[in-house]
Amino acid sequence: MTIVRDFSSIRAGGEVTVSGWAQDVRNLGGISFLTLRGGSGEVQITMPKKKIDPALFELLTKIPRESAVSITGEAKESGQTALGVEIIPSSAVVHGEAASPLPLGVVDKVNAEMDTRLNNRFMDLRKPEARAVFELRSMASSLISEAMAAEGFVGVSTPKIVASGAEGGATLFGVDYFGRKAYLAQSPQLYKQMLMSTGLDRVFEIGPAFRAENSNTNRHVTEFTSFDGEMAWIGGQGEVMAMLEKTVNRVLSGLRERGAAQLEILGRDVEAPGAPYPVLSYSECLEMAAESGLRLQEGDDLGTEGEKAVGEIMESRGHSLYFISEYPEEAKPFYIMEKPGTPYSYSFDLDFKGQEISSGGQREHRIGPLLERMAKKGLDPADFSRYLDAFRYGMPPHGGWGIGVDRLVSKILDLPNVREAILFPRDTARLEP
């Protein structure tokens, strides 16, 4: 007897054991069919009434949909099934009988609401198209790690319980840390920058980031996965942009190669890697937004609508991915370097079809200007003293990026909501499952 995990490897002749969920049963009088769905697809269990043990026939034809079961039987050639084989059962073990009704249909054509799907995520993930997203996401993470290793980046893990934030106080989640005030990290920003003074010249991290963001949008969640990179001894932010572009392109081409089966399940194509990505200035984007009838002032955040308007114009020019650079320094966090003599900064966003997926830039590595920026932002250096220490004893010029893996995956796969790319999303309303 052979236990088969990949149903497509079943060959006629001999006994096999297949495991999965009882998807549905069709009774046609003298013969019944059970579709068993495993991780690798479906296999048909064929039960001619007269040839099957009556107790086994009864068990398998009455089995509640979605019960977990292992079935042993003979694999026979069949012209009627996609696999070209069917299984005539001789025994079965029901590991977990499913209650009914089901909280969510697995094969039903009806589209369930996002909330119902997320409340019953274990069942939702039994759908091959829901699972395919996470198989592709896993490939994307591996591709990122491979791309980073190829460029000499060291993978690091920085603390997620921290004493201060870098991205603005309004979005910090507080934690009671043995009577002291602590926070959940909004990003690895401060730590990856400190590492730039150590000789670990290129670091990256894929880890959780938390934002107490009261935004109920299809692109914001309160816990997301951030892929951060930081590199020392740079001559300018162009080197950072080039590295990010190369990495995103490697993810795109890697998914096209490795993810063909999953992409077919989803009925999606992945963008061809395009280089170089166009670079728009923030000011150009304001003009583009104005062309679309939006009234944005210099210094305004482009916002969802502005990003969308720019995205539409760029799409009409054949570009899905593009950088927006030289944001006003005022709109950017304290650690970003200002562009001397201008109101702008050495910073950029990477947008994908009208949505920001990444922010980055050159950091202020000189302690004097860094303290001035903190003062401008109303931050107390005393709250950042351990971070600032790393700038007092020889900090090289450096820069980097943060890119949301959830947003990257949802944009690549053209999913309407970032939550589709997160197994168990957290947002203002959702803390379970």
Residues that bind ligand ATP (CB under 6 A): 167, 211, 213, 220-221, 224, 226, 356-359, 402-404, 406-407, 418
- Pick the closer one to ligand ATP by CB: 309 or 403: 403
Q: Which of 230, 241, 245, 234 is nearest to 200 (CA)?
A: 230
Catalytic residue list contains 356: yes
What angle (nearest 5°) sits at the alpha carbon of residue 207, between those of residues 252 and 389?
Answer: 120
Catalytic residue list contains 211: yes
Catalytic residue list contains 213: yes
Catalytic residue list contains 330: no
Catalytic residue list contains 11: no
- Pick the closer one to ligand ATP by CB: 213 or 305: 213
- CA 402/CA 423 separation, integer angstroms: 21
Active-site residue, selected from the candidate residues 37, 137, 202, 211:
211
Q: Can you count the helices (H) and strands (E) in the chain?
A: 12, 17
- CA 288/CA 294 separation, integer angstroms: 9
Catalytic residue list contains 9: no
Cβ at position 430, least distance to ligand ATP in Å: 13
Q: Which of 106, 135, 136, 137 is nearest to 121 (CA)?
A: 106
H/E element, 306: helix 303-316
The residue at minimum Cβ distance from ligand ATP is 404
Active-site residue, selected from the candidate residues 117, 202, 407, 419:
407
Cβ at position 400, least distance to ligand ATP in Å: 11
- Pick the closer one to ligand ATP by CB: 87 or 206: 206
- CA 194/CA 380 separation, integer angstroms: 18
Cβ at position 211, least distance to ligand ATP in Å: 4
Backbone φ/ψ region at 306: left (φ over 0), alpha (ψ -120 to 50), beta? alpha
Active-site residue, selected from the candidate residues 65, 220, 426, 430:
220
Cβ at position 133, least distance to ligand ATP in Å: 16
408 close to 353: Cβ distance less than 8 angstroms = no
Active-site residue, selected from the candidate residues 245, 307, 329, 356:
356
Backbone φ/ψ region at 299: left (φ over 0), alpha (ψ -120 to 50), beta? left
Cβ at position 288, least distance to ligand ATP in Å: 18
Catalytic residue list contains 407: yes
- Pick the closer one to ligand ATP by CB: 259 or 404: 404
Residues tagged active-site? 211, 213, 219-220, 356, 359, 407
